[in-house]
């Protein structure tokens, strides 16, 4: 009996059933894939961290170094389990050619370091997560470049240095637990010790990673304070295990969370669809339910008739979604596999997605049971007498046809229908709001991140060009000569030399920390401040959001720095956003400390008629090995991977939201038309043509869509911005403000959505032609 | 002058392989200004005939000519236009739009047709409502008035575009006897003003108000009784007509 009813119902409502099936399938697929992706990310990352024996604490250092002093300090410090000093030979991008590229990597923002495989820990792994071993003349290249430059084993890497030329054959690729993500600007290439010695000798100048593994990784904070307070070398940023974890998980973690959020959204839509379908079925079968009750069928029995369909449908869809999640996960986790490797999958590989699918299934069933409680309210007599649940009473006196002067009659009736049945259209409205939100937020964010104004989140002012000088021999001298050359260049409109050096910071509790402070004149290329303004007087300092948060300081508060050997109280003049250097930077108009310079930068604007690219080429040649980048290029390279992923996300979101809108419009209209068949038959009987009926439905969906787009746009500009801001605040940008392209956001996207919905409505209402007037209203 | 003609009209319902003929070779001529009723036992095909020749349903074979135009050859849109401009229909269960007031229900199809300006439409609606005695109910919701009043509004709606012919499917079937009598009186008045009317009914008292009664049996028109127009609407004449008709119906086995 139940099977017979099920078959009949499925046959009768093929399209509605199919759409519901798709929704449940998609939501279970995304939930299963999302949870599995998180599992994969966590297990692969911990596998990589374990196999590479990642250091717990790393201090980068440029300049001279006393190895014995470090060894003494390490053996005296109980927290240190092991330590090592890793030497790295920096190679200028302008000297490096990767694969088949004809041009060197001079425009790259990455720093290229050539290293040997480590002996004790911090192993650089290959794509099988085994230690990379290379022979003489071979090189193992970071996976970042394998992906970016499309490299493969056997390709060449050339160093064309003024003093020598060296060519390597790529024998492997490197997974580097420390420096994998694109947001980290240092990348390590592994070469044979003999080649390393040659390079070190020829290229001259090495940089160091002073690495520690602790006896208790939980005491990182304590160790950090201890190290920074010591006289150990520290000309360079320090980074720790938590940071490695966060940076490695960031990109894919965000995607997994987005997948889970979308799956939740889909399941909510599926639940609303189920509610709407169930209530429509209930409406249709009201009289039959009355008859069943009249002949003594129990509530439970009647309920099971209706529930069985949804149990079967949800179970089948959830199972398919669960099964489909595995190939989908394979696709989505390719980035994880590439950068982090693949850990042993174990039982959780099956159990976690199964649990997610079961959760979705359970949620739906619970919801169905709740909706079906309405059966309790159906009275036998009422059902038999009226044969209809009846909608909320609608008045004809609101929206009088007689007072309508402008609108064509079908359009007017469509509008009237929407405004008199707002509750019913709520489902469609919700979906349209979600679609508009889903469509607009990634586009807004992509435009924001691509916009030249995004530099304000990178802690730098807006300028045409930027010249970066990293630590090297006679750097101070070179910097001065560069500044002089720029001063004398007639093509330069204005420029601002800035020096970042390390200062000692006295904490309230008496301990000492280090603070990277950029010094110079910050009024030439002004920065946007979240609070306050630029440091102008020599006792003023501006802090990055992250630093201000960690130091618990606000504008007007003070911090104590050691400047020129003396304690100096600095007043915080402003707080700005910065996602570079771990988000921990500061700016002050004080003289820099020549002993602890980290890097030099010169920002400059060219005169209007000067060609930017020609100037870049000229400066690259003149100031070699300085890095010369235009602002757009700087953003592109710093956030290139994020922009690329965001672009993919925006494209996917675009199609998903269009698909979602079309699917829901089709589903909703098919249910609505079934419900409105008698109403349509009356209109047809008095002379409404098929196109009039269609226009009425198109008007309804378009009205709800417009309301949905307006609401979705407002929400994406407010809540969307807050959401994106919340994610980015982890990196140090607290107040992301969307850069909105009005034509794209307010005209093109809504028009595409409208077109999709109008076409779907027009096609979807084609079945109105099949309504037989006589059958519907024959007495 | 022949206004509507059915030529060899057949209608068959199909259910899988099973075919059920409902109308069999119907031939019928309706002249302009006639007031006709169709009677017959349940399932004889009265309503099906009405829907088939009024353009609300398609025939399986045969021709339906309205003013010489063959409705069976028209497209859906052309047929909708015929329903809008040339035909009025009154149903047993009234079928007014629930979310419109009485007045809006009446003017709806005229506004859609757009042949007259809104002022003229409103004026005509006012005249029709005055004629049917519901002018005071113009702004009421349809849930606020009686069945008889609703049927009057439905008649106004059917007449608003000045159709060539008015069809009625048991127009008094859902009304009490007083309301039914009032509606029939109204229809007779409308007919006197020149409107051609074809009704389906099972009530001899209703059929007695019409000038020609057709009798259907098993999908065929089997007999016809001419009663002539009502000359004086008094109880005696009505009784006479009812008696004549009853005797005739008995002879038909009704």
Identify the pLDDT of residue A391: 47
Identify the pLDDT of residue A173: 94
Identify the pLDDT of residue A734: 66
Alpha carbon distance A192, A662 (integer Å)? 58
* pLDDT tens, residue by residue, A110-126: 788 999 999 999 999 99
Identify the pLDDT of residue A470: 67
Alpha carbon distance A589, A587 (integer Å)? 7
CB contact under 8 A, B95 and A685: yes
Identify the pLDDT of residue A100: 83
CB contact under 8 A, A397 and B157: no
**Mean pLDDT (whole number) for B208-232:** 90
Identify the pLDDT of residue A571: 94
Smallest CA–CA separation between B126 and chain A, in Å? Answer: 13
Identify the pLDDT of residue A2: 56
Per-residue burial over A675-686, b = 16 or more CB atoms within 10 Å of its CB, e = otherwise: bbbebbbbbbbb
Q: CB of B141 within 8 Å of any CB in chain A?
A: yes
Output the CA torsion A710→A713→A717→A720 (10° steps): 130
Smallest CA–CA separation between A386 and chain B, in Å? Answer: 14
Contact residues on chain A for B89, CB-CB shorter than 8 A: 685-686
Which secondary structure element, helix H or strand E, spans residue B198, and what is its range?
A: strand B196-200
Identify the pLDDT of residue A457: 74
Alpha helices in chain B (DSSP H): 46-53, 76-85, 102-113, 118-132, 147-159, 177-192, 204-207, 235-251
CB contact under 8 A, B76 and A690: yes
For A2-7, which contacts have Cβ atoms below 8 Å and span 24 or more sequence positions?
A2/A304, A2/A305, A2/A308, A5/A305, A5/A308, A5/A309, A6/A308, A6/A309, A6/A312
CB contact under 8 A, A393 and B143: yes
Most B CBs within 10 Å: which of A405, A410, A687, as the mutation test of the B interface? A687
Contact residues on chain B for A401, CB-CB shorter than 8 A: 100-101, 104, 107-108, 111
CB pairs < 8 Å spanning A and B: 103
Identify the pLDDT of residue A4: 67
Is the pLDDT higher at B235 or at B204? B204
Of B91, B100, B112, the CB nearest to A692: B112
Of B92, B98, B108, the CB nearest to A686: B108
Which secondary structure element, helix H or strand E, spans residue A543, and what is its range?
A: strand A540-544
Contact residues on chain B for A679, CB-CB shorter than 8 A: 97-98
Contact residues on chain B for A779, CB-CB shorter than 8 A: 47, 91-93, 169-170, 173
Alpha carbon distance A701, A699 (integer Å)? 6
**Mean pLDDT (whole number) for A256-260:** 77
Of A396, A685, A690, the CB nearest to B89: A685
What letter would DSSP give residue A118?
A: P
Most A CBs within 10 Å: which of B100, B103, B137, as the mutation test of the A interface? B100
Cβ–Cβ < 8 Å for A679, A771:
no
| Level-2 CATH architecture, domain B2-86+163-251 | 3-Layer(aba) Sandwich (3.40)
* pLDDT tens, residue by residue, A697-732: 999 999 999 999 999 999 999 999 998 888 777 666
Cβ–Cβ < 8 Å for B22, B48:
yes
Contact residues on chain B for A685, CB-CB shorter than 8 A: 56, 83, 89, 91, 95
**Mean pLDDT (whole number) for A15-39:** 85
Per-residue burial over A233-262, b = 16 or more CB atoms within 10 Å of its CB, e = otherwise: bbbbbbbbbebbbebbbbbbbbbbebbbeb
Report the residue count for chain A.
779
Identify the pLDDT of residue A389: 43
pLDDT of residue A413 exceeding 70, the answer is yes
Cβ–Cβ < 8 Å for A253, A38:
yes
Is the pLDDT higher at A184 or at B163? B163
Alpha carbon distance B195, B193 (integer Å)? 6
Give chain B's end-to-end CA distance (angstroms, integer). 31
Identify the pLDDT of residue B222: 93
Contact residues on chain A for B45, CB-CB shorter than 8 A: none
Contact residues on chain B for A773, CB-CB shorter than 8 A: 51, 56-57
| Chain A residue at shortest CA distance from B57 | A774
Mean pLDDT of chain A: 84
Cβ–Cβ < 8 Å for B80, B89:
no
Alpha carbon distance A195, A197 (integer Å)? 5
| Chain A residue at shortest CA distance from B105 | A401
Beta strands in A507-539 (DSSP E): 512-520, 529-532
Domain residue ranges in chain B: 2-86+163-251
pLDDT of residue A533 exceeding 70, the answer is yes
Lowest-pLDDT choice from A153-162, A452-461, A642-651: A452-461
Q: Quick one: what percent of chain A has pLDDT higher than 90?
A: 30
Reading the block at residue A331, the tokens are 């696709």
Reading the block at residue A408, the tokens are 């064509």
Identify the pLDDT of residue A390: 44
pLDDT of residue A385 exceeding 60, the answer is no
pLDDT of residue A392 exceeding 50, the answer is no
Report the residue count for chain B.
254
Identify the pLDDT of residue A378: 60
Contact residues on chain A for B99, CB-CB shorter than 8 A: 394-396, 416-417, 420
Q: Which residue has the tokens 């000492």?
A: A512
CB contact under 8 A, A396 and B95: no
- Give which of A85, A64, A90, A95 is closest to A199, Cα–Cα: A90
**Mean pLDDT (whole number) for A308-319:** 88
ipTM of the complex: 0.89
CB contact under 8 A, B169 and A779: yes
Of A396, A777, A778, the CB nearest to B142: A396
Q: Which residues pair with A529 in a beta bridge?
A: A576
């Amino acid at each position: 009996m139940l099977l017979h009813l099920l078959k009949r119902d499925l046959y009768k409502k093929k399209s509605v059933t199919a759409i519901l099936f798709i929704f449940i399938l998609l939501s279970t697929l995304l939930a299963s894939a999302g949870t599995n992706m998180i599992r994969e990310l966590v297990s692969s990352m911990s596998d990589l961290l374990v196999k590479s024996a990642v250091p717990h604490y790393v201090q980068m250092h440029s300049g001279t170094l006393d190895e014995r002093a470090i060894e003494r300090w390490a053996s005296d410090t109980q927290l240190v389990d092991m330590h090592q000093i890793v030497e790295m030979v920096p190679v200028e991008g302008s000297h490096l050619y990767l694969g088949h590229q004809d041009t060197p990597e001079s425009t790259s923002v990455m720093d290229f370091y050539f290293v040997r495989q480590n002996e004790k820990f911090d192993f650089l792994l290959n794509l099988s997560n085994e230690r990379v071993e290379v022979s003489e003349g071979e090189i193992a290249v970071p996976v970042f470049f394998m992906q970016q430059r499309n490299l493969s084993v056997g390709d060449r890497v050339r160093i064309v240095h003024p003093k020598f030329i060296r060519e390597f054959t790529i024998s492997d690729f490197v997974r580097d637990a420390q420096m994998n993500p694109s947001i980290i600007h240092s990348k390590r290439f592994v070469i044979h010790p003999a080649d390393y010695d040659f390079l070190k000798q020829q290229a001259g100048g090495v940089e160091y990673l002073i690495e520690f593994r602790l006896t208790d990784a939980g005491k990182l904070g304590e160790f950090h304070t201890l190290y920074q307070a010591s006289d150990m070398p520290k000309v360079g940023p320090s980074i720790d295990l938590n940071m490695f974890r966060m940076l490695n998980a960031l990109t894919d973690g965000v995607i997994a969370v987005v997948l889970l959020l979308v799956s939740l959204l889909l399941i909510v839509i599926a639940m609303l669809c189920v509610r709407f379908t169930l209530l429509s079925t209930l409406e249709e079968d009201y009289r039959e339910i009355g008859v069943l009750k009249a002949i003594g069928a129990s509530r439970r029995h009647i309920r099971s008739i209706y529930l069985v369909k949804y149990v079967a449908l949800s179970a089948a869809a959830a199972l398919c979604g669960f099964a489909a999640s595995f190939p989908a996960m394979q696709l989505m986790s390719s980035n994880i596999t590439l950068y982090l490797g693949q850990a042993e999958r174990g039982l959780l590989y099956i159990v976690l997605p199964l649990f997610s699918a079961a959760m979705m299934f359970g949620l739906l069933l619970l919801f169905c049971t709740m909706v079906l409680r309405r059966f309790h309210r159906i009275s036998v007599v009422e059902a038999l007498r009226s044969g209809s649940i009846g909608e909320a009473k609608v008045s004809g006196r609101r929206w009088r046809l007689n007072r309508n002067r402008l609108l064509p009659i079908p359009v007017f009736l469509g509008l009237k229908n929407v405004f008199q049945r707002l509750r019913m259209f709520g489902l469609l409205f919700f979906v349209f709001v979600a679609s508009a939100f889903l469509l607009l937020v990634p586009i807004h964010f992509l435009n924001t991140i691509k916009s030249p104004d995004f530099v304000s989140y990178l802690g730098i002012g807006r300028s045409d060009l930027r010249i970066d000088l990293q630590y090297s021999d006679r750097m101070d001298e070179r910097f001065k000569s560069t500044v002089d050359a720029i001063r004398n260049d007639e093509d330069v409109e204005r420029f601002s030399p800035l020096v970042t050096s390390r200062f000692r910071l006295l904490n309230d509790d008496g301990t000492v920390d280090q603070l990277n402070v950029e010094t110079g004149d910050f009024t030439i290329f002004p920065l946007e401040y979240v609070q306050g303004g630029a440091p102008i007087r020599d006792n003023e300092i501006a802090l990055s959001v992250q630093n201000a948060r960690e130091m618990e300081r606000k504008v007007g508060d003070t911090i104590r720095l050691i400047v020129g050997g003396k304690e100096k109280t600095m007043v915080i003049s402003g707080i700005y956003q910065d996602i570079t250097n771990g988000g921990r930077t500061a700016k002050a108009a004080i003289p820099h400390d020549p002993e602890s310079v980290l890097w030099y930068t010169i920002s400059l604007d060219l005169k209007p008629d000067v060609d930017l690219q020609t100037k870049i080429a000229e400066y690259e040649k003149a100031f070699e090995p300085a890095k010369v980048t235009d602002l757009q290029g700087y953003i592109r390279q710093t956030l290139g991977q994020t922009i690329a992923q965001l672009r993919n996300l925006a494209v996917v979101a675009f199609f998903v939201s269009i698909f979602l809108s079309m699917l829901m419009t089709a589903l909703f209209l098919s249910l609505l038309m079934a419900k409105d068949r008698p109403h349509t038959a009356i209109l047809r009987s008095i002379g409404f043509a098929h196109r009039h009926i269609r226009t009425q439905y198109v008007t309804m969906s378009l009205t709800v869509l417009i309301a949905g787009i307006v609401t979705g746009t407002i929400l994406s500009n407010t809540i969307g911005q807050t959401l994106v801001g919340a994610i980015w605040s982890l990196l140090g940008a607290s107040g992301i403000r969307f850069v909105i392209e009005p034509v794209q956001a307010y005209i093109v996207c809504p028009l595409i959505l409208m077109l999709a919905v109008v076409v779907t409505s027009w096609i979807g209402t084609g079945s109105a032609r099949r309504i037989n007037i006589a059958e519907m209203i024959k007495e | 002058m022949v206004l509507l003609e059915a030529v060899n009209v057949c209608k068959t319902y199909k259910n899988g392989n099973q075919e059920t003929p409902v109308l069999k070779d119907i031939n019928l001529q309706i002249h302009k200004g006639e007031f006709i009723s169709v009677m017959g036992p349940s399932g004889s095909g009265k309503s099906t005939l009405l829907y088939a020749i009024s353009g609300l349903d398609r025939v399986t074979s045969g021709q339906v000519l309205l003013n010489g135009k063959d409705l069976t050859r028209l497209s859906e849109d052309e047929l909708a236009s015929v329903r809008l401009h040339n035909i009025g229909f009154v149903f047993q269960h009234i079928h007014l739009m629930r979310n419109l007031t009485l007045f809006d229900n009446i003017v709806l199809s005229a506004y859609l047709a757009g042949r007259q300006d809104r002022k003229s439409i409103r004026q005509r609606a006012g005249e029709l409502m005055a004629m049917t005695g519901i002018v005071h109910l113009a702004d009421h919701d349809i849930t606020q008035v009686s069945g008889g009043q609703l049927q009057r509004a439905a008649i106004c709606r059917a007449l608003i575009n000045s159709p060539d012919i008015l069809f009625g499917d048991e127009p008094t079937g859902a009304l009490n006897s007083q309301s039914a009598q009032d509606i029939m009186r109204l229809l007779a008045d409308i007919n006197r003003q020149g409107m051609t009317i074809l009704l389906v009914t099972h009530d001899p008292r209703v059929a007695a108000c019409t000038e020609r009664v057709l009798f259907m049996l098993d999908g065929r028109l089997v007999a016809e009784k001419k009663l002539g127009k009502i000359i004086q609407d008094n109880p005696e004449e009505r009784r006479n007509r009812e008696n004549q008709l009853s005797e005739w119906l008995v002879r038909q086995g009704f």
